[in-house]
Structure 1
Amino acid sequence: MLTELRVRDVAVIADARLELGPGLNVLTGETGAGKSMLVDALALLLGERATADLVRTGSDRASVEGAFDLAERPDLRAPLAEVGVEADDGRLVLKREVQLSGRSRAWANGSPVTVGVLAEIGRRLVDLHGQHETQSLLKPEAQRAILDAFAGAAPEADAARDGWEECERLAAELRQLEARRAEARKRADYLRHVADEIERAKPKAGELEQLEGEA
C-alpha cells in the first residue's frame, strides 16, 4: 500500500506531500489544481519514461518519492532481494530524480537501481488506470509493450530503454562539452589577439606610470 507521496519541482508542482491511509483515498480540486500531475508523478516514480520538460521552470531537477507498506505483501521480498533491495522491515521507499539534462536516476530503499528495475517493482506494486486507458491500445509504444510482455522479452526491452536513455544523456553531455570547447577556442583567440597587440605596442618599463602622470 502506498502510504506517502512526495513530489518536488514536477511541472507546476513546487512541493507537495500526501499521506495516504488504508481504504479509499480521494483527491479533489478544481481544474488545473494539479490532480492529474500527481498521478503522472506517481507513474514517473513507477518507471514511466522521463523527459526534461517535466522539471519545473526555475529548478534544475524534479524528484518524486513514495513510501510503501509491504506488511501484506511478503511475496515481494524475494523479488526485491533478487535486485539487491532489502525490505525486511516491511517498508519500501522508492525515489526517482530527473535532471534538466534529461538524465534520470532511481533508488529503492536508498540503493541505486535502474529505471527498468523501478518499473518492474512498480508493476508488482501499483495498477494505474486513467479515464482514457483503453485509448492507450492505439499507441504504438503500448502495442510494443504488450508484444514484449507476450514474448517474455520485457527485461530486454527495459535494458534497451535504459541503454537509449544513457545514450541520450551522453549525447547531452557531449553537446555541453563541444559548447565549452568552442567557448574556450574563442577565449584563446581573444587572448592571442591581446598578446599580439601588446607585442606590437612594445611597452617599456615605467611607461604606464609616465602616461598616467601626463594625464
Structure 2
Amino acid sequence: MTTPKQFLVQAAARNNAVWCATMSRSHGVVGEFGVQAWAAPTRTPPLYPDAVTLVPGADLSALVARIDTAASGASVKDSFADLDLTEAGFQVLFEAQWIHRPASAPAVAPDLAWDVAADPEMLRSWALAWDDGDGNIDLFRPELLDDPAVCVLAGRSADGRIGAGAVACRSDQVVGVSNVFARDGGADVAWPGVLDAVHRLFPTLPVVGYEYGDALAAAVRHGFEPVGPLRIWVHG
C-alpha cells in the first residue's frame, strides 16, 4: 500500500522528470518516459540528469543501458535513494530531500513585484540574475517560453532589476519549483514571492521540489515538509 509520503515522492519525481525533459528538448535532446524512468539517450544540458527514476526499485541494468555513459558527466537522479550504481561506475554527487507544501498562499508578503518572463529579452535578464557569473547563462533558452506548463518567475525591485526568481513546472497533480534564487538575502527572500506567484497561477496544486543544506532549511521555514530522500549519481 502506498503511503501519502510515497505518493508525494512519486508525484514529485515525475514532475521533476517532466521539467528535465522540457529543459532537454529546449537543447534539442529528446528523452523518453518509460514505466520505471525517464531517460535521454544522449547527454543532457549541464546541471540536468540523463535519467530520473519514477518508481522505487528501478531495474539498474535497464536504466544504465538507456543513457550514454561513454560521455563525460552522465548522471542519474535516483528519486527514491534506493539504487547502488557504484558497480556501473557511478558515485554519489549529493543527497537531498523531496519537499512538499500544500496549496496555499505564503504566510509572509513578498517584497518584490513578481511576474512571468514572457519574452526572450526578459528570460535573458532572468538568466543573468540566476547565473550570477557562473557561466551557465545560455542554459535557459527561448524555447522554454513556448511550453505552457513552464513559468519562469521573476521578482523585480522598484528600479526594475530582477532580484529573485524561480521556475515553476506544472504536471497533472503538482507544480514543481526549482532554480530558486535571490541576489540578496538568499532563499528566504525569494520564497514569499515564489509561493505567492505559484498560488496565483496554480491555486489548487500543491508545491513540490527538492533541496538540501541551507536551502532545505529555508524551504522548511516557508511551510515545506521533507517527504523522502533522493540521490544524484554521476559517472566517472
What TM-score does the superposition give when structure 1 sets the normalisation length? Answer: 0.27
Greater helix share, structure number = 1
Greater strand share, structure number = 2
Answer 1 or 2: higher relative contact order, Cα 8 Å, separation at least 6: 2
Structure number with larger C-alpha Rg:
1
